[in-house]
Structure 1
């Protein structure tokens, strides 16, 4: 499983992309990003399926993994490595029971949520927002991130408001990796 979890984890938001989808993904690949989450909440199921298929094709030939946000059906049908569940999604254990081959990540915003996700069988979590980021609530900060890393035994990805300048401080907390949207677009 860990071979699919990379240090840097790009979450898509094509509305923020500076280039067409395929070109932007290739630019991220050129920068060494090898883990992607397709998170395009505004798409209809058929549009999401088409974009997921496109992402899979673009990643072909790279040692890259990809996950679909919240849509287990799309993840299974397109052959994604896994699914990433928002904090208020279906339980991790329900997905793992029906689709044990899928890697399942979970968004967490507190230590209690992180512990619950681990107990349910999540393979990894994202913990956010670490720093201030638009429309994501109060930042949890590096101290809370450190506490989560200490309390859970599964990989933790820091997410939210992380800039290139902040990466060294974030990595000092012992996180498995860093996830982001804007961080990887430039």
Structure 2
């Protein structure tokens, strides 16, 4: 239970939203990660780490950039965007709390009613 903020929602806030449960945000750059940290959010999702079919043409960060940004904030960060189960160890070695993804879950749970 909780609230997940878009990066646009995040940048417009001056304080943490009052919500029961977790408050998290989607981030795409270091400034957004710092804003999530400043607002004391519970975690952030940083993307896209790799090329992804859900956002064709989007510039991907790559693992090196991901690691550099995660190192600069004190907030749990999950890797998103083109990641797969085999990327888990790489993500952890780059400072991620874990991995996340829409396509990832479609692969893992193909009969889920949400798809």
**Does TM-score exceed 0.5, indicating one fold?**
yes
Q: Aligned residue for 2:13?
A: 91
1:156 deviates by 0.4
Whether 1:160 and 2:81 are equivalent positions in the alignment is: yes
Q: What is the CA-CA distance between 1:92 and the residue it aligns to? A: 7.0
1:179 deviation in Å? 0.9
Q: Deviations over 1:118-155 (max 9, x none)?
A: 10221110000000013251001111111122111111
Which of 115, 122, 131 is the matching residue for 2:41? 122
Is residue 45 of structure 2 the alignment partner of residue 112 of structure 1?
no
1:178: Cα distance to partner?
Answer: 0.8
2:105 equivalent to 1:184 = yes
Shift of 1:167: 2.3
Greater helix share, structure number:
1
**Whole-angstrom distance in 1 between the partners of 2:86 and 2:97:** 18
Unaligned runs of 5+ in 2: 108-115
> Unaligned regions of 5+ residues in structure 1, if any?
1-80
| Cα deviation, residue 184, structure 1 | 1.9
Measured at CA, do residues 162 and 93 of structure 1 come closer, stay the same or move farther in structure 2, by a change above 3 Å? same
CA distance in 2 between counterparts of 1:92 and 1:128 reads 23
Tell me by how many angstroms 1:111 deviates.
1.0
Larger-Rg structure: 1
Q: Aligned partners of 1:177, 1:164: CA distance in 2, in Å? A: 10
The Cα offsets for residues 54-106 of structure 1, whole Å up to 9 and x where unpaired, read as xxxxxxxxxxxxxxxxxxxxxxxxxxx2110010015272513xx3x331101
State whether structure 2 residue 29 is matched by structure 1 residue 142: no
* Partner Cα distance (1:121, 1:168) in 2: 27
Does the 8 Å CA contact 1:93/1:120 hold for their aligned counterparts?
yes
How many residues of Structure 1 are paired with residues of Structure 2 in the alignment?
A: 103
